[in-house]
A and B are shown apart, each in its own frame.
Chain A
């Protein structure tokens, strides 16, 4: 089944800096989603971007999608210690049915 791959695997930044995470996938998609997972908790949906969209914003989050490169990026601006979490991209499987999650990027925001 198709799976997004996040990059980098781990990222450590100072509070106030911007954090950028990337997701690459293999085959055509209709939608791509980003989720956050705090330590010991379930995943929380952040944002969905459709294949006909290039950019979406939600608060301090900015997601871009480049279907020609089969990649997406998640930008968190003015990061806070509370943004420390793992971030996952999810793409549809090869049948366009369920979402398949990548291995995630572990973000650490240092105070």
Chain B
């Protein structure tokens, strides 16, 4: 398996534009997590899915953020409209269980810059 695959690796967009981040989890992993990492706030859990169903989205900062998982092999995180304060690295991670022995497998992240 190629691991968790995120795209794009880098995204630069103008304020007000819509941004869509993509994630392909490891096949067979039932849990998918979206994290945001900034210098100020560290690594924050935004939302997680179990068997494609959103379980907890309490970390989503506001209504401008939305996430979907239409099937077991694909998830998106959308920001609309984007703002400069959304600039961060967004990570997707997947795992067999919620608190797995072998930890979460993270993708390489998408570095988002909103200007």
Contact = CB atoms under 8 A, between A and B. Distances in A.
26 contacts: A30-B99, A33-B103, A40-B108, A41-B109, A42-B4, A42-B91, A42-B106, A42-B107, A42-B108, A42-B109, A43-B43, A43-B93, A43-B106, A45-B103, A48-B101, A48-B103, A92-B99, A97-B56, A97-B98, A98-B33, A98-B48, A98-B99, A99-B104, A101-B42, A102-B42, A104-B42
Interface in A24-78: 30-31, 33, 35, 40-46, 48
A63 B99 CA distance: 18
Interface residues of A, number: 24
Interface range on chain B (Cβ under 8 Å from partner): 20 to 34
Interface in B77-115: 91, 93, 98-99, 101-109
A97 B104 contact: no
